[in-house]
Structure 1
Amino acid sequence: MLSRRSILGVVAATAAARATSAVAQADTWPRGRPIRWLVGVPPAGSADPLTRAIADQLSKRLNQSIVVENRSGASQAIAARETANAEPDGYTLFTISGPVLYANPTPIIGKGLDPVIQIVNQPMIIAGTVKRPTQSLSDVFAAAKAKPDEWSFASAGVASSHHIAGEWLNSLAGTKIQHVPYRGGGAAMTDAISGQVPLIIIGAGPAIPQIEAGILRAYALTTKNRLSSLPNVPTLSELGFPQVDLSQWFGVAVRSGTPKAIVQRLNTEIDDILRTPPLQDMVAKLGAEAVGGSAEQWGRVFATDLEKWMSLVQKLNIPLQ
């Protein structure tokens, strides 16, 4: 039978071996095989092009192949689970588009996933087909109250930030505009452009070109500040809803337990990439704000935002999947 001292010795030796292995792994990373970078949404919107642009630069900096894969479905849970089930070796990255909330146990930052870096913040925009005569958000609310069966809004999915923002606005405005969930923002945008659905709430990026082309009419932004690219579009705060200040974000995560040296290398490189002119230009065109910062900062932002959005979900009785 082992003595207490012997047991402690075995435990210490095991911990030391693991630490040595992690350091050795970090020292040799990345080599030998491509890095997979999963995106939990379809190849449309803002998350996909941002990820691909960053991956292209990161590949050159690491002298390593990076393969970006769209693993959409189940409100990003498929990509989240793949990441959490991968080896904690820095060869699987995951772009989270959020906030995203779940009823069932799904890996999130702090529970199966570790933060790497926040990429951007992006305001959401309320827009609609120009085929309707409504010129302002107040016109929309009046029309929706008069003929509620004729009004609905598209979003990227149930319990997405777009869905929650729309239901909160319904609550504040006293309207009952019906939610129509899609499997990603690209499909929602297609039906909004064609007029199949009269309204859409979505991240500003994919909506800006359609607004500038006169295909969609912009009604309001969900954040406190206006966008320089859409200077004539008011905020909800300006329109009488000062309590509304909501944005969506994109960030990078890896499986929990990935060596800190690898996470730090990824963080440092991506943070630097976000400051380069090509990424700055791209972010600006998407109506977003580059964030960057440390992995710890991103983890705190994620936790705080999750609490805020979960409170809204409970207040509005929105079912989670």
Structure 2
Amino acid sequence: MHQNRRSLLASAALALSAILATPLAQAQDSWPAKPIKLVIPFAAGGTSDILGRLIGEKLQVALKQTVIVENRAGAGGVLGADAVAKSPADGYTLLLGTIASHAINPAMKPRMPYDALKDFAPVILLGSISNVLLVGTEQPYKNVQDLIAAAKAKPDSIAFASAGQGSSQHMSGELFKLLAGADLAHVPYKGSAPAIQDVIGNQIPSSFETVTVALPHIQAGKVRALAVTSAQRAAALPQVPTMQEAGVPGFDVASWQALYAPAGTPAAIVTRLNGEVEKILAQPEVKAKLDGLGLVHGANSPAQFADFNRQEIAKWTRVAKEGKVTLD
């Protein structure tokens, strides 16, 4: 009798498990059954916005479901990222995250409303863009070593512009100061446009800027490119050496863009999104647009991207500590 009772209890438990699991399984199988929201935590018109809208447009076709793109700018990407972190983990809210929202701010700000690793499910690293060290055409610096020598001779006498406090351009400069031992003064601007215009006008001697923004000005001879910040030369600037080639060992910085979902999003949905986006990024039309933005993409799984994200936070935490940099 006891054996029969145990069998009945076991059968009931299995039946209950099946009943409880059915809605979740059905939800994953039917996903997406309603419009998906893609949050871009920056203003319209920038690289993140252009890339996000391109991905959103192509995902609509791939998933046969509407993708609504929403710009939610503020605090270096933190406001939009926080909204997604606190959204339901059902695959219907996604984030176009960046190095700012998921590496620099988490490493540099003592108070963050979210945990960049624990509160998100990494989907895919979309691509990275190298920065480039620029000087005005009237400046005497012909190469990186010229600039380093001048900065060491007179610490804080040479300024570098950036697109803003906590931007990848700013942090490229901070890492340069650490690795090259060149004490430059940081001057943050409200965006890339005013920063590069002052370099062109020789009102500030140098800046770190994305290849995307700097390229037309370099090609027009309005600024001089001394080195790119990535480990490999930029395809758009093959004649410009890397920082490592220019004599700054260990220098490797790229501004990156990525897709995230809230933590707890079913693995099946994350895996499908990763696969669909990989197919999108391989399309010739999309690849051409990525090349135009200066974005370099390499296939990656959610696990590989998660590992990359951890490494990036560790890198900028070290820079923050050694350079005594905070963003609050």
- TM-score band by shorter chain is 0.7 to 0.9
Of the candidates 161, 165, 168, which is equivalent to residue 172 of structure 2?
Answer: 165
Of the candidates 119, 129, 151, which is equivalent to residue 122 of structure 1?
Answer: 129
Q: Do the aligned residues in 2 keep the contact of 1:208 with 1:286 (CA within 8 Å)? A: no
Q: In structure 2, what is the Cα distance between the partners aligned to 1:157 and 1:211? A: 21
Change (3 A) 1:291 1:266: same
Q: Do the aligned residues in 1 keep the contact of 2:157 with 2:185 (CA within 8 Å)? A: no
Of the candidates 227, 242, 251, which is equivalent to residue 249 of structure 2?
Answer: 242
Report how far residue 233 of structure 1 moved: 0.8
Q: In structure 2, what is the Cα distance between the partners aligned to 1:167 and 1:89? A: 39
Q: In structure 1, what is the Cα distance between the partners aligned to 2:72 and 2:84? A: 11
Q: Do the aligned residues in 2 keep the contact of 1:109 with 1:253 (CA within 8 Å)? A: no
Matches within 5 A, 1:6-21: 19-21=21-23
Identity of aligned residues (%): 34
2:183 aligns with: 176
Aligned residues: 316
- Considering only aligned residues, what root-mean-square deviation do their CA atoms show, in Å? 3.0
Q: Do the aligned residues in 1 keep the contact of 2:162 with 2:207 (CA within 8 Å)? A: yes
Q: In structure 2, what is the Cα distance between the partners aligned to 1:45 and 1:175? A: 30
Structure 2 gap ranges (5+): 1-9
Q: Do the aligned residues in 2 keep the contact of 1:219 with 1:234 (CA within 8 Å)? A: yes
Report how far residue 193 of structure 1 moved: 4.9
Q: Do the aligned residues in 2 keep the contact of 1:41 with 1:70 (CA within 8 Å)? A: yes
Q: Which amino acid in 2 is paired with 1:135?
A: K
Structure 1 gap ranges (5+): 1-7
1:314 aligns with: 321
Matches within 5 A, 1:11-50: 19-33=21-35, 35-50=36-51
Q: In structure 2, what is the Cα distance between the partners aligned to 1:9 and 1:190? A: 73
Q: Which amino acid in 1 is paired with 2:238?
A: P
Q: In structure 1, what is the Cα distance between the partners aligned to 2:42 and 2:16? A: 40
Q: In structure 1, what is the Cα distance between the partners aligned to 2:165 and 2:17? A: 43
Q: In structure 2, what is the Cα distance between the partners aligned to 1:93 and 1:11? A: 35
2:233 aligned counterpart, secondary structure:
coil
Q: Taking structure 1 as the reference length, what is the TM-score of the superposition? A: 0.85
Q: Which amino acid in 2 is paired with 1:92?
A: T
1:90 aligns with: 91
Q: Taking structure 2 as the reference length, what is the TM-score of the superposition? A: 0.84
Of the candidates 268, 279, 286, which is equivalent to residue 275 of structure 2?
Answer: 268
Report how far residue 78 of structure 1 moved: 0.2
